[in-house]
Amino acid sequence: MLETFLRIIPLGIGAAMTPSLLGLQVLATVGPSWGRRSLMVIAGSALAFGIACAALFLGFAQLPHRDDTGPNLVQGILYLLASAVLVCVVVWLFRPHAALAERSEIGFRRRLSNAHAVTFFSIAFVLSIKDLSSFALLVPGLHDIATSNISIFAQILCVVLMFALALSPTLVPALWRLLRGPRAEASLTRLYSWTMRRQFQIIGFMAGVFAVYCLVMGLGNEGIGAAPW
């Protein structure tokens, strides 16, 4: 079980790197109605990731269990596909997008300054369900869990861990606002501006790191076994 945890934690951390979702929650946590709005952001994102995680896990659970003593062809292919997707993400994101990032930052503020809580739910759901880089990392992680030779209870714990990590961009700002109260608003506002202006560079950098990670895992003994590690 520990080995499975250690393999999926990096994938869950990578799936959490969603600056636009973080920015949405930061906006939700600033203002008098922050509690209801932030809960709607968490609920929208949780629904999207919950549907995807449940569907992928149940589908992968129908496959034969992995052989812990040797290479795993399907797992390796999923890692390599994830690496290829992330490389494409890196290529697109490291092209100049300064104007788009600025429009995104200003547009979020303008549209959501007086928005109803259900609007935050809808946007969180859409941002989560179309997050290609997150799902590229969740797929090999969920396949690893579903085909591992651990108990169903341990598998559920692993899925919950990946789910919680993917949700962390919505959980951390809400927790910070809860703990700090109104004093948190200044730091959250600064975080929003910094994150939204650099969202493409952040995602691009993280996608590059995890593209290499997935390539290493896909070629190694946890994958197709083409490399000696």
C-alpha 123/C-alpha 82 separation (Å) is 25
Residues above pLDDT 70, as percent of the chain: 93
Q: Which two tokens stand for residue 172?
A: 């951390």
pLDDT digits (tens, 9 = 90+) for 170-226: 999 999 999 999 899 899 988 888 888 788 888 889 999 999 999 999 999 888 988
As a whole number, the mean pLDDT across the chain is: 88
Burial per residue of 29-64, b for 16 or more beta-carbon CB atoms within 10 angstroms, e otherwise: bbeeebeebbbbbbbbbbebbeebbeebbeebeeee
Encoded amino acid at 199, one letter: Q
Instruction: Give the pair of three-digit tokens for residue 102.
Output: 């600025």
What pLDDT, in 10s, does the model give residues 140-170? Answer: 999 999 999 999 999 999 999 999 999 999 9
How many whole angstroms separate alpha carbon 107 and alpha carbon 20? 12
- Residue 99: the pLDDT is 58
The CA-CA-CA angle for residues 18, 137, 45, to 5°, reads: 45
Give the separation between CA 138 and CA 145, rounded to whole angstroms.
10
Using an 8 Å Cβ cutoff, are 120 and 40 in contact?
yes
In contact, 29 and 182? CB cutoff 8 Å: no
In tens, the pLDDT along 44-100 reads 999 999 999 999 999 999 998 887 777 889 999 999 999 999 999 888 877 755 555
Q: For residue 94, what pLDDT is reported? A: 74
What pLDDT, on a 0 to 100 scale, did the predictor assign at position 93?
Answer: 77
d(Cα 154, Cα 88) in Å, to the nearest integer?
A: 34
